[in-house]
Each structure stands twice: as C-alpha cells, then as structure tokens.
Amino acid sequence: MHLAEFQPISAPTAVKIVEAAGQLFLQRGYKAVSINEIIRAAEVTKPTLYYYFSDKEQLFVQMGLRVLAEMGERLQGALQLPDELPLRLVAVAAVLLDDRDNNMRMMRHEMMTHLGPAQRALLGQAFFVQIFRPIVQMMEQALAEGAVTRYPAPALAKMFMGLADSFHEFAHAPAHPDNASHEALFGPCELGPQELVDLFLHGVGRKTSEAV
C-alpha cells in the first residue's frame, strides 16, 4: 500500500463539496445530513455534485481521507524531528491529543455505524498507512536503538495510541447532566503529551533505582 493511494480528491470544486459536507457531518452526524443540504452548503448544483461523487457514502469517505491525510502530515513532521525518542514521542502525542482529532474519533464512530464494508475497509487501510504504520516504524527505530524493550513494535504502537485515546477522552469528557462542568467535577485536566510519554516509558510505579 502506497501513501498516494489514500490521498483525498484534489479538484477544487470537489474539495469545496467535501469541506461543506464534512462540516455538516461533524456538526450533525452522517444520517441527519441530506444530499440537498450538502448542495446548498457547497453552493453547487446536483449534477456537479454527482459528477464528482456517486453518493453520500463516497462523500463521507473523502472527508475521512482528508482528516487522515491532514493528521498524517502533522504526524510525519513530528516523527522527523532529530530529537531523542522521548522528545519525538511528546511531539507525536501532541498530534494525537490535538482537539482537531475529535474529527477522527467522530469519523470512526459514524463509519462503523453507517458505512458499508468496502468503505470501512478503505478508511481502515488509510488509517493504517497514514497513522499506525508511521508510529510502528518509530517504535522499530526505538527498539533498534535500545530506547524501549520487551514488546514488538506493533504492540508498542498500540499501547501508545491506546494511552492517547484514554487521555483524550478524559480531557474532553462531556459535562455532567446537572450542567456541572467536567473541570468542576474532576478538577483541571493535567494529562498532556508529556504526562502521556512519562506513563508510556516509565509507568506509574517507582523507578527501580528508587525502590527500597
């Protein structure tokens, strides 16, 4: 699989339609948005929309490819930093914890709920190429350098991304039904990229050198 296979459509009119559709999908969810609403939001005609896209599913897939490509580009920038592993991990964690990546989480939910198997498979493959595989490669390099040990690179990548998901969910948990804010209920969230990396590399127990 090559990265170019999962790049979103780039024709200006098509991009305009996808951006309009994406805003509606993210605001209201896939099922609630109609083709006519997308046409009005994009300020195009129905024949123009259908010239580029066969149906609403294809529009959603293109939105997903755009989200993944943008996130993948930021991730590549973090991975290419010439720093040691902890600093690279902090940069990668900052990408994974970015508020904009709420879009990806919403997309995964809507994808599993409303898209067919072929469309889910395409977005799953794009996620693998754009997001998961680069983090696996970073872990392979870390293993080769002796910076991490014990687990294979794919397992390390899954652990790191799982921690990022957990941190993100806690930081952006919805307000309580009684309208108390998340911060009022649980206190300020202090779980950021540095804390994620510290937990990933060192766990929550005492370091061996500190043990009695």
**How many independent structural domains does the chain possess?**
1
Please give the pLDDT value at position 132: 96
Model confidence, pTM: 0.81
- How open is the CA angle 72-60-62, to the nearest 5 degrees? 45
On average, the pLDDT of the chain sits at 84
**84-98: per-residue pLDDT in tens?**
889 999 999 999 988
Is 10 within a domain?
yes
The mean pLDDT value for 55-65 works out to: 93
> What are the helix (H) ranges across 34-152?
35-42, 46-52, 56-79, 85-96, 102-114, 117-127, 133-145
CB distance 103 to 162 below 8 Å: no
CB distance 137 to 123 below 8 Å: no
* pLDDT interval class at 180 (50, 70, 90): low
Concatenate the DSSP letters of all residues of 177-190 into one string.
TTS--HHHHH----
Is 61 within a domain?
yes
| CA 53 to centroid of chain Cα atoms | 24
Is 64 within a domain?
yes
User: Which residue segment(s) compose the domain that 189 sits in?
Assistant: 3-173+182-207
The mean pLDDT value for 44-59 works out to: 95
**147-174: per-residue pLDDT in tens?**
998 899 999 999 999 999 888 776 655 5
The mean pLDDT value for 100-120 works out to: 80
Is 201 within a domain?
yes
Q: What is the CATH number of the domain that holds 111?
A: 1.10.357.10
Please give the pLDDT value at position 187: 55
Is 13 within a domain?
yes
Is 212 within a domain?
no
Is 191 within a domain?
yes
Is 187 within a domain?
yes
